[in-house]
């Protein structure tokens, strides 16, 4: 698929406000500030497809993008940020949980985590849940350019081993929106999911 053709369709506070006729959806999830917007922009080779923000927890809507007929990418609200009132947090987490559990179009999940702060509780819960639900998962260790080559490889190995131990065979890859690491592997995985 040509990810450069990706365009924004709509934003919705919950799944009731999403269109039904989207075909396949692949969702991107991660803690707030994990680098999700930057990764989507890099994947699609566009500067501001998904708004990147330095303020954690700003984008709290479900954002729907179309790559091609019947092939959609969903940018889910970031989770795990600290500076918002509990009530709002609960509301957001509810729409995230609901999307993941009820959206029938969902066929694959990309979980992004900062390579320097990987596998926090919520990341683990999400991956564990996806594996249990037989939803295919790919894990991206983002901002991989922040570590030197040796440390980067060691961290990748560590996370791969940890994932294998607690949730089975999940593909874990290095990613950098800045340097382009992992972009081809991500595109290949999405092609697999969209076209199978």
Stretch of residues binding ligand GDP (CB under 6 A), selected from 15-23, 28-36, 100-108, 163-171 = 28-36
Beta carbon of residue 35, minimum distance to ligand GDP (angstroms, whole number): 4
Say how many CA atoms lie within 13 Å of 194 toward its Cβ.
22
Residue number with CB closer to ligand GDP (61 or 68): 61
Residue number with CB closer to ligand GDP (36 or 152): 36
Beta carbon of residue 56, minimum distance to ligand GDP (angstroms, whole number): 6
Under the binding rule (CB under 6 A), the answer on residue 146 touching ligand GDP is yes
The contact pattern for ligand GDP, residues 41-60, with x = CB under 6 A and - = no contact, is -----------xxx------
Under the binding rule (CB under 6 A), the answer on residue 38 touching ligand GDP is yes
Stretch of residues binding ligand GDP (CB under 6 A), selected from 66-74, 143-151, 161-169, 183-191 = 143-151
Beta carbon of residue 48, minimum distance to ligand GDP (angstroms, whole number): 11
Under the binding rule (CB under 6 A), the answer on residue 155 touching ligand GDP is no
For CA atoms 164, 169, 175, 181, the dihedral sign is positive
List 15, 29, 32, 141, residue binding ligand GDP (CB under 6 A): 32
DSSP track, the chain:
--GGG-EEEEEESSGGGS-S---EEEEEEEBTTSSHHHHHHHHTT-SSSSPP-SSTT---SEEEEEEETTEEEEEPPPB--SSS-HHHHHHHHHHHHHHHHH-TTEEEEEEEEETTS---HHHHHHHHHHHHTT--EEEEEE-GGGS-HHHHHHHHHHHHHHHHHHH-S-EEEE--TTT-TTHHHHHHHHHHHHH-
List 60, 105, 142, 163, residue binding ligand GDP (CB under 6 A): 142
Under the binding rule (CB under 6 A), the answer on residue 176 touching ligand GDP is yes
């Amino acid at each position: 698929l040509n990810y450069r053709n990706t365009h924004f369709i709509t934003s919705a506070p919950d799944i009731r406000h999403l269109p039904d006729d989207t075909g396949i959806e692949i969702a991107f999830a991660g803690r707030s500030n994990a680098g999700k917007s930057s990764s989507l922009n890099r994947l699609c080779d566009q500067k501001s497809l998904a708004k990147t923000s330095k303020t954690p927890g700003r984008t709290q809507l479900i954002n729907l993008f179309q790559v091609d007929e019947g092939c959609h990418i969903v940018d889910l609200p970031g989770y795990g940020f600290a500076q918002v009132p509990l009530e709002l947090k609960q509301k957001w987490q509810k729409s995230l949980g609901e999307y993941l559990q009820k959206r029938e179009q969902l066929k694959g999940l990309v979980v992004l985590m900062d390579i320097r702060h990987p596998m926090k509780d919520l990341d683990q819960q999400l991956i564990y849940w996806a594996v249990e639900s037989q939803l295919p998962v790919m894990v991206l260790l983002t901002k991989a350019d922040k570590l030197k080559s040796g440390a980067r490889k060691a961290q990748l190995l560590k996370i791969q081993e940890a994932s294998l131990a607690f949730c089975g065979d999940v593909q874990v890859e290095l990613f950098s929106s800045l340097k382009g690491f992992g972009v081809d592997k991500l595109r290949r995985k999405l092609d697999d999911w969209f076209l199978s």
